[in-house]
Amino acid sequence: MNESPNLLQQVLGWNSLKHPQGIKALKLDGKSIICIWKENNIVIHEISLDFIGRGILNRTPKDDVINKNNFTLSSRVVNLYNLDDSIFAVVNDGIIYSFQSSRENTGSETQSMEIDDMFSSPTYISLPSTWKENITTKIDCCDHTLSACQLTNGLAVLARVEGHLSLLVYSVPHLSLHFILDLRKYNSQEAVVSSCAISSLAPSLKKNFQEQLEVLDTDIVVVGLHSGLVLWFFANTPVKTPSILCNTHQRVQAIHWLRDPCGLNTHLIIVLSSGRVVIYAGQGVTNLSLPDSVHASMCLRNCVVSSNLSDCYTNELQLEEELTFKSVLLPVKGVCAMSEVPESDSSLIVATIHGSVYCFNPTITPSESSTQFMLPDQSILDSMLVQTQELGKIYKQLNQENETTKAVSAAMAANGFPDLFQLAVKVTSDNEFIVVAKLKKSGFSFSPEIWMSCVEIVGNNKRETFVKKLSKDFSFDFELMERTNYSLAIGEVVIVELVAFLEHKHPILAVVVGKIEIDPCHLMSSQTLVSSAPRNQETLGEILRDLNKETENPSHSQECKVVVNIPNHFAINSCLPTIIQDSQHRISEEDWNKISGGKKFNVQVSVLGIPTLLQLEPSSRILTISCRDVPLCYKVKESVLKRLQNSETKHIPESLVLDIQALYQSFEIESLRDKPDIQSLEEIRQKLRSTISAHLPI
């Protein structure tokens, strides 16, 4: 027969079990069997397939599955084995089931005897088989079963019995209990077990074990614990304590034996769940690594096949002076269980999380088995291009609809929060200003794909509007900053909105960010910081003449001085920073630090080119505003009063809070009496009102 060119062949076109936990390929009485299990459910498939070439399964055109049988057992299935012409299933609660089948066929006995290869197509017509399960034995006082492996003449079962870890060895033909190995001192919650006939061990591998193995006609059993400890003992001799092979310090995922073409096991492969591999061979111990973590693994010839539930790799062991892995990614995804094909040293059956079952030869790399790439027909490429363009249009439309929905949602939510934004206006020059907006709450986002900023200036019998697309997302983490070329004047109002122009059938969305009336405090710029030293030796006229001797304006020949009383609750050190905070960007960092740090109480500023002096007397809590322009001087006073009054709620004295709380508690106590005194309640109420009203801004 010619060798199949395909690397992968699908064995079962469908499978009722998704995310299976195990798979086993068996050959029983000339029948090809694939068993798949999940939890306590087992599906036994009798299949008809050809076994050809180097072990690649060639799927027949139809009737792959001759018969299918479903079984539900008492608990989760641990593993399946073929012993004494029967299928044995070890389950979690310690029960060992056996499965037998009977089948009639039409065909000569000679034809049946010619079937000597696994999965060979029978020449007779197969009839459905009848399968029955029976309980063969049960582990007494079994908490749960961890793992099991097949021996030459029996089974080795690793279980927790009465809370202790134990290994039970059973012998055929009736699976009678041979002996129990007590492993309670290791107290492992998870473990794996594997075995190998000593007669099949290569002489070079025997050197890694302590005793003389040549004289023993039995199996060697190797146990890998969750802690990373690896133990071993003989299956025919009861022992009190097993020998320690090594300690990997990581959870053991599986233990495999690597066979050479002569059938001798030359390497002991210990696969760890992390992807690390410990290899025992004639030349000693070698530590290698697989491409990824390991969920399932299997050894065939000189290959270790591994899967992490996503990618599956064949890792060919390079048997040179220094052992290395040559890893190749296989074209199959989601492999969750593996089984080698009986009587074959190169075929592997795998089950995927999607329910598919494949058979392949891991010794053939994809590059060796793949055919030469051929460019598809031009009509196919044209069709793909058209469909891709159509999908692009649909994606764009869906994205636009999604942005529209998000915009409407954001607008409705934002309009429900009257104090959502914090707005400030920064005048940077005579012909330019910047609006800075911040979100006070998280959870809002305004995308530049659909939102624009609208800055409107109203005043002096005119209205100017500037609309600009947002440069980036406006959210809690990213503030909105828009620069506008316009010369602001005192009394004008700056209104900032977010607008979204949706589709033609939808109205324009608008979210009001806020509005600010421009006053002299927005237009201040630093000229000179007056020294904090006493200025009793200088008059205001001398200071102003020195600063403006070159640009003296005849129309401002008169000096105006107004006084503002600082509220008692307002901290003196916060007075000047509060007044000039909207002009902070026009003051040097050094000067601002002196003002905010309370080292400067006299500030010389310019408002619309007119010098203005702000002089604070900490002892008398009086702020004096001096300016040669009388109307401007009073406007500065108004803006200062507005800032001090607006900041009053931020500086409520603690004594006021305590007084109000005490009065409120007195009112409650009096009202809860059996016969409350109405006159006393009225007196407390009047005192509470007068205490609060005395601190309200006028």
| Residues 520-540: tens digit of each pLDDT | 888 888 764 443 444 444 455
Are residues 498 and 383 located together in one domain of the fold?
A: yes
Are residues 663 and 638 located together in one domain of the fold?
A: no
pLDDT at residue 68 tops 90? no
Q: Residue 64 — very low, low, confident or very high, per pLDDT cuts 50/70/90?
A: low
Are residues 433 and 455 located together in one domain of the fold?
A: yes
Among 468, 502, 518, the domain-final residue is 518
pLDDT at residue 331 tops 80? yes
In a domain, residue 687? The reply is yes
pLDDT at residue 2 tops 50? no
Residues 6 or more apart whose Cβ sits within 8 Å of residue 59: 9, 10, 11, 49
What sign has the CA pseudo-torsion 386, 392, 396, 402?
positive
- Of 370-374, 400-404, 495-499, 596-600, the poorest mean pLDDT is in 370-374
391 or 186: which leads in pLDDT:
391
Q: What is the mean pLDDT of residues 235-255?
A: 87
pLDDT at residue 7, rounded to an integer:
55
**Per-position DSSP letters for 248-264, written without gaps between them:** -SS-EEEEEEEEPTTS-
pLDDT at residue 276 tops 50? yes
In a domain, residue 327? The reply is no
**Residue pLDDT, tens place only, 464-479:** 899 988 888 888 888 8
pLDDT at residue 554 tops 50? no
Measure the CA–CA gap between 311 and 332, rounded to whole angstroms. 7
pLDDT at residue 312 tops 80? yes
- Among 26, 33, 42, 45, residue whose Cα is nearest residue 78: 42
385 or 663: which leads in pLDDT:
385
Are residues 628 and 536 located together in one domain of the fold?
A: yes
Are residues 627 and 661 located together in one domain of the fold?
A: no
Q: With 0-12 CB in 10 A as exposed, 13-18 as middle and 19+ as buried, what is 44? A: buried
- Of 380-389, 473-482, 656-665, the poorest mean pLDDT is in 656-665
Tell me how many domains the chain contains.
Answer: 3
Encoding tokens for residue 658?
């305590």
Are residues 635 and 527 located together in one domain of the fold?
A: yes
- Of 64-73, 192-201, 294-303, the poorest mean pLDDT is in 64-73
pLDDT at residue 77 tops 90? yes
Are residues 540 and 601 located together in one domain of the fold?
A: yes
Domain that holds residue 686: 654-693
The edge-to-edge listing of strands for the beta sheet with 622-627 is 524-529, 602-607, 610-617, 622-627, 560-565
CATH number at residue 540: 3.30.310
pLDDT at residue 532, rounded to an integer:
42
Are residues 621 and 574 located together in one domain of the fold?
A: yes
pLDDT at residue 148, rounded to an integer:
93
Q: What is the mean pLDDT of residues 11-34?
A: 78
pLDDT at residue 206, rounded to an integer:
82
What sign has the CA pseudo-torsion 256, 258, 262, 266?
negative
pLDDT at residue 49 tops 70? no
Are residues 506 and 532 located together in one domain of the fold?
A: no
278 or 362: which leads in pLDDT:
278
Q: Residue 313 — very low, low, confident or very high, per pLDDT cuts 50/70/90?
A: very high
Q: What is the mean pLDDT of residues 337-357?
A: 85
In a domain, residue 416? The reply is yes
What sign has the CA pseudo-torsion 180, 184, 189, 193?
negative
139 or 208: which leads in pLDDT:
139
pLDDT at residue 272, rounded to an integer:
94
Measure the CA–CA gap between 184 and 197, rounded to whole angstroms. 26
Are residues 465 and 568 located together in one domain of the fold?
A: no
In a domain, residue 249? The reply is no
Are residues 388 and 509 located together in one domain of the fold?
A: yes
User: pTM of the predicted model, to two decimals?
Assistant: 0.51
In a domain, residue 108? The reply is no
pLDDT at residue 503, rounded to an integer:
67
In a domain, residue 6? The reply is no
Phi, psi of 617 (to 5 degrees): -105, 100
pLDDT at residue 125, rounded to an integer:
44
Among 493, 518, 543, the domain-final residue is 518
Among 471, 494, 518, the domain-final residue is 518
CB 159 within 8 A of CB 139: yes
Give percent of the chain above pLDDT 90: 17
pLDDT at residue 58, rounded to an integer:
45
In a domain, residue 234? The reply is no
pLDDT at residue 653 tops 80? no
pLDDT at residue 570 tops 60? yes
- Of 76-80, 350-354, 408-412, the poorest mean pLDDT is in 408-412
In a domain, residue 84? The reply is no
Q: What is the mean pLDDT of residues 434-442?
A: 88
pLDDT at residue 620 tops 50? yes
pLDDT at residue 285 tops 80? yes
CATH number at residue 404: 2.60.40
Q: What integer best gives the mean pLDDT of the chain?
A: 80
Helix (H, G, I), strand (E, B) or coil at 113: helix
**Per-position DSSP letters for 497-548, written without gaps between them:** EEEE---TTSPPEEEEEEEEE--GGGSEEEEEEPPSS--TTS-HHHHHHHHS
Are residues 514 and 530 located together in one domain of the fold?
A: no
* First vs last C-alpha separation in the chain: 106
**Residue pLDDT, tens place only, 88-146:** 999 999 999 988 877 655 444 444 333 344 444 444 445 567 788 888 889 888 889 99
pLDDT at residue 192, rounded to an integer:
93
pLDDT at residue 252, rounded to an integer:
93
